[in-house]
């Protein structure tokens, strides 16, 4: 494979990895606070729909992008109410949220199918975009790709270098100890759930604002689940999430290009690649689980202290 094919493939890998990256970062934030939210797929698709509707009505893609985050927060708040207030089972609540989100978006979005909305186009960074090879891969993407990459160091710095981030991690590791140290455990968990929902919603918006400018039911097509798996693959680290998301994006883009080149491998086998990789990733992650860095109190509800 020469550079003529490799460069567009890598550029496509970044593009199809970006929605997964947003969602993975969001889920990392939520899980770091000790809450497991399996509703990523449902939150994502509601975000995608909110962004599409807003872009269509206002013609302002940036506003639409932000609104998708808010919509994600609203849906994620449902998970917060069930698990943080009523101490419901986090796995069941998350699954219910996925089903609810998919159904809601399907119901509300049906009249919009087949319509287009304004979104983001390619934005070449002056100077860097003109570089050979690196330019087309990294610096001729759309605005949202740059934003998603920017979130990675921000999230890392928040979790590792700020007092709030350390408190949030303490809540995820050992809520009783955190409470004893005077940390308002419930408030940090709420922050984790809502902040994570915001980022996941943005991931959905990428699909309807930049990846395509169309709406369809089931637009997310399982990307939310891949994000949940990638959190484990990334060992809850934002930097590894970037790597994992682009790896998955690359595999998705690769199988289509392999067909276009004219390979004789049956297309059914090629289509299995992203899912086969998911399985391999999970096996790999549990094999190295000792350094997996999972929050110790993940998925465990906390009783009110008063």
Partner 1 sequence: MNYRKLLMLCLALTAVCFLLIACPEKPEDMTPKVERLEKENAELKQTVEQLQKENDELKQQLKELAVKMEVKELQVGFVYVSPIGDAGWSYAHDKGRLFIDKMDGVTTSYVESVPEGPDSERVMLNMARKNYDLIFATSFGYMDPMLKVAKKFPQATFMHCSGFKKSENMGNYFGRMYQARYLSGIVAGAMTKNNTLGYVAAFPIPEVIRGINAFTLGAQSVNPDVQVRVVWTKTWYDPATEKEAAKSLLDVGADVIAQHQDSPGPQEAAQEKGVYSIGYNSDMSAFAPKAHLCAPVWNWGPFYAEIVEAVRNGTWESKAYWYGLENGIVDLSPMSAMVPADVQAKVMTEKEAIKEGTKKVFTGPVKDQAGQVKIAAGKTGSDGELLGMNWFVEGVIGTTQ
Q: Which residues bind partner 1 (CB under 8 A)?
A: 4-5, 8-9, 12, 16, 110-116, 121-122, 207, 211-214, 216-219, 221, 252-253, 256-257, 259-268, 271
Q: How far is the CB of 270 from partner 1 (least distance, A)?
A: 9
Choose between 123 and 282: whose C-beta lies nearer to partner 1. Answer: 123
Q: How far is the CB of 106 from partner 1 (least distance, A)?
A: 8
Q: How far is the CB of 260 from partner 1 (least distance, A)?
A: 4
Choose between 30 and 148: whose C-beta lies nearer to partner 1. Answer: 148
Compute φ and ψ for 116, nearest 5 degrees: -115, 155
Choose between 28 and 112: whose C-beta lies nearer to partner 1. Answer: 112
Cβ distance 231 to 58 under 8 Å? no
Shortest CA distance to 76 belongs to which of 165, 185, 189, 196?
196
Q: How far is the CB of 117 from partner 1 (least distance, A)?
A: 12
Q: How far is the CB of 223 from partner 1 (least distance, A)?
A: 9
Q: How far is the CB of 164 from partner 1 (least distance, A)?
A: 35
Torsion of CA 73, 215, 92, 76, to 10 degrees: 0
Choose between 268 and 291: whose C-beta lies nearer to partner 1. Answer: 268
Choose between 4 and 306: whose C-beta lies nearer to partner 1. Answer: 4
Choose between 114 and 182: whose C-beta lies nearer to partner 1. Answer: 114
Choose between 16 and 24: whose C-beta lies nearer to partner 1. Answer: 16
Give the whole-angstrom CA distance, residue 165 versus residue 49. Answer: 31
Question: Among all chains, which residue has been given the structure tokens 């997996």?
Answer: 292
C-alpha to C-alpha distances, 102 to 93, 105, 125, 288, nearest whole angstrom: 14, 5, 36, 33
Choose between 179 and 214: whose C-beta lies nearer to partner 1. Answer: 214
Give the whole-angstrom CA distance, residue 167 versus residue 189. Answer: 10
Q: Which residues of 262-295 are buried (b: 16+ CB within 10 A; e: fewer)?
A: eeeeeeeebeeebeebbeebeeebeeeeeeeebb
C-alpha to C-alpha distances, 165 to 29, 99, 151, 160, 181, nearest whole angstrom: 9, 31, 15, 6, 15
Q: How far is the CB of 256 from partner 1 (least distance, A)?
A: 4
Q: How far is the CB of 12 from partner 1 (least distance, A)?
A: 6
């Amino acid at each position: 494979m020469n550079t003529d094919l490799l460069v567009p493939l890598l550029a496509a890998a970044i593009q199809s990895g970006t929605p997964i990256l947003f969602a993975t970062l969001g889920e990392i934030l939520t899980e770091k606070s000790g809450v497991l939210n399996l509703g990523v797929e449902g939150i994502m698709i509601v975000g995608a729909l909110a962004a599409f509707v807003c872009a269509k009505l206002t013609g302002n893609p940036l506003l639409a992008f932000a609104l998708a985050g808010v919509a994600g927060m609203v849906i994620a708040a449902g998970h917060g109410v069930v698990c943080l207030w009523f101490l419901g089972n986090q796995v069941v609540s998350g699954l219910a949220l996925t089903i609810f989100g998919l159904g809601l978006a399907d119901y509300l979005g049906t009249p919009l199918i087949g319509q287009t909305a304004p979104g983001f186009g390619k934005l070449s960074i002056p100077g860097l975009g003109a570089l050979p090879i690196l330019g087309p891969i990294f610096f001729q993407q759309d605005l949202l790709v740059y934003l998603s990459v920017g979130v990675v160091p921000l999230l890392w710095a928040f979790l590792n270098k700020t007092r709030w981030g350390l408190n949030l991690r303490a809540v995820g590791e050992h809520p009783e100890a955190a409470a004893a140290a005077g940390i308002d455990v419930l408030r940090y968990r709420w922050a984790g759930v809502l902040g994570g929902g915001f980022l996941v919603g943005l991931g959905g918006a990428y699909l309807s604002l930049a990846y395509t400018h169309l709406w369809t039911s089931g637009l997310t097509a399982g990307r939310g689940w891949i994000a949940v798996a990638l959190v484990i693959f990334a060992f809850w680290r934002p930097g590894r999430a970037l790597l994992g998301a682009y790896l998955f994006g690359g595999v998705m883009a690769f199988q289509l290009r392999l067909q276009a080149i004219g390979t004789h491998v049956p297309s059914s086998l090629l289509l299995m690649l992203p899912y086969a990789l998911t399985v391999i990733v999970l096996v790999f992650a549990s094999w190295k689980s000792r350094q997996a860095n999972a929050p110790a109190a993940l998925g465990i509800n906390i009783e009110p202290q008063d």
